[in-house]
C-alpha cells in the first residue's frame, strides 16, 4: 500500500500467540487505510515461520539478527513507515475493534496535533482484576517540565504520532540497554522538548495486560532504569532549572518514595519501606509527605 493514513508498528519478541491474534484483529477491523510493520526482534518461537508464510499486502515484517530491544525495533518501524501517522502497538497489548476507525475520525478534523493519546483498560491476567488507566493531564505552559517532575503520562500502545513531526525533529527511541523498559518515557520527554501539540482523548480504546512476561514485571530493575532517565534529563537535557543538583535531589527523593511504596505493597517489606521513608524525610519532609500521600493508594 502506498502512503496509508496510519502505519502500525509492532515490535515483538517470542510472543507468537499474541502477535497472531493482534494481526488478525487489526485486519478484521472495518477501517482499512493502514499498514502493519512488524519488527521481529530475533524471536526463537514460531514468529518467523508465521510471518514468512503470511500473505497480505498490508503486512510487512523485518527480522533482526540480534535481539536489541523494543526501542531499536520501534526505530526501525519509524524509518520504514509510509503512513502520515504512526501508531505503536506492543504485541501483548490489544486495541478495541473500533479503535482505528475512531482515531481516524478524530485525525480528519484535528490535523493540528502531533501526538494523541487515549485511555486504556488494564487487565491483570494473574488475578483477573480490571482497572481504568487515565492518561494525562499535562500542563500546557511547560509540558516537558511537568512530565519530568511528575512522571510518565503516556502509554506506547495508546498513542499515535505524526510522522513528519518525528522526522523533522529527529525524535527516536533511546536504544541504550540502560534505558530498557523506560525508553518510552524518554521518548515522550523528547516530544515535549520539541513542543509537540498533544491531545488526550477520554475514550478507552485499548487494553493493557499485566502478566508474568511483561518487560516491566521486574519492577525494581524497571525503576532503576527509570532513575537513569531522570538523571540523564536533569543533567544533560533540561534547561528550566539552573540548579541541577537541587532538581536532582527532589527527583531522587520522589524516586525513593516510590521504591519505598513498592517494597511495602509488592514485597511486604516494612523494614525497607521504613528505612527509605525516613531517609527521604530527613532530606525533604514536605516533598516526601506530599508524594507519599499522592502515590500510596494509586501506584500500579
Reported residue count of the chain is 300
Q: When comparing pLDDT for 224 and 193, which is higher?
A: 193
| One domain for residues 46 and 102 | yes
What's the pTM value of the predicted model, to 2 decimals?
0.92
- The reported pLDDT for the residue numbered 297 is 54
| One domain for residues 246 and 192 | no
| pLDDT confidence tier of residue 254, bands split at 50, 70 and 90 | confident
- The reported pLDDT for the residue numbered 94 is 95
What contacts 37, CB < 8 A, 6 or more positions away? 7, 8, 9, 10, 60, 61, 62, 77, 80, 81
Q: What is the share, in percent, of the chain residues with pLDDT greater than 70?
A: 95
- The residue segments making up the domain with residue 277 are 241-295
| One domain for residues 159 and 119 | yes
8 Å CB contact between 279 and 273:
no
| One domain for residues 176 and 267 | no
| pLDDT confidence tier of residue 299, bands split at 50, 70 and 90 | very low
By the 10 Å C-beta count (0-12 exposed, 13-18 middle, 19+ buried), 143 is classed as: buried
Mean pLDDT within 56-65: 95
The domain total for the chain is 2
Q: What does DSSP assign to residue 300?
A: -
CA separation for the pair 244, 87 (Å, rounded): 34
Mean pLDDT within 92-108: 94
User: Is residue 216 over pLDDT 70?
Assistant: no
- The reported pLDDT for the residue numbered 300 is 41
Amino acid at each position: 500500500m502506498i502512503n496509508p493514513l496510519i502505519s502500525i508498528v509492532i515490535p515483538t519478541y517470542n510472543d507468537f500467540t499474541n502477535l497472531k491474534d493482534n494481526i488478525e484483529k487489526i485486519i478484521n477491523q472495518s477501517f482499512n487505510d493502514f499498514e502493519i510493520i512488524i519488527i521481529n526482534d530475533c524471536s526463537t518461537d514460531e514468529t518467523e515461520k508465521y510471518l514468512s508464510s503470511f500473505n497480505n499486502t498490508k503486512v510487512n515484517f523485518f527480522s533482526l539478527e540480534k535481539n536489541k530491544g523494543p526501542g531499536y525495533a520501534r526505530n526501525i518501524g519509524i524509518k520504514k513507515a509510509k503512513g502520515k501517522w504512526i501508531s505503536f502497538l506492543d504485541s501483548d497489548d490489544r486495541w478495541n475493534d473500533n479503535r482505528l476507525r475512531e482515531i481516524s475520525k478524530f485525525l480528519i478534523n484535528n490535523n493540528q496535533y502531533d501526538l494523541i493519546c487515549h485511555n486504556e483498560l488494564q487487565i491483570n491476567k494473574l488475578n483477573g482484576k480490571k482497572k481504568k488507566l487515565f492518561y494525562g493531564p499535562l500542563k500546557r505552559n511547560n509540558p516537558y517540565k511537568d512530565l519530568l517532575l511528575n512522571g510518565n503520562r503516556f502509554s506506547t500502545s495508546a498513542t499515535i504520532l505524526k510522522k513528519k513531526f518525528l522526522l523533522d525533529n529527529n525524535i527516536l527511541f533511546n536504544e541504550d540497554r540502560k534505558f530498557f523498559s523506560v525508553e518510552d518515557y524518554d521518548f515522550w520527554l523528547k516530544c515535549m522538548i520539541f513542543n509537540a501539540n498533544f491531545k488526550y482523548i477520554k475514550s478507552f480504546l485499548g487494553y493493557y495486560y499485566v502478566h508474568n512476561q511483561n518487560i516491566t514485571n521486574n519492577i525494581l530493575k524497571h525503576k532503576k532504569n527509570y532513575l537513569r532517565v531522570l538523571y540523564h534529563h536533569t543533567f544533560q537535557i533540561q534547561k528550566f532549572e539552573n540548579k541541577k543538583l537541587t532538581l536532582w535531589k527532589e527527583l531522587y527523593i520522589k524516586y525513593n518514595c516510590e521504591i519505598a511504596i513498592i517494597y511495602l505493597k509488592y514485597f511486604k517489606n516494612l523494614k525497607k519501606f521504613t528505612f527509605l521513608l525516613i531517609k527521604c524525610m530527613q532530606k525533604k519532609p514536605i516533598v516526601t509527605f506530599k508524594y507519599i500521600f499522592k502515590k500510596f493508594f494509586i501506584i500500579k
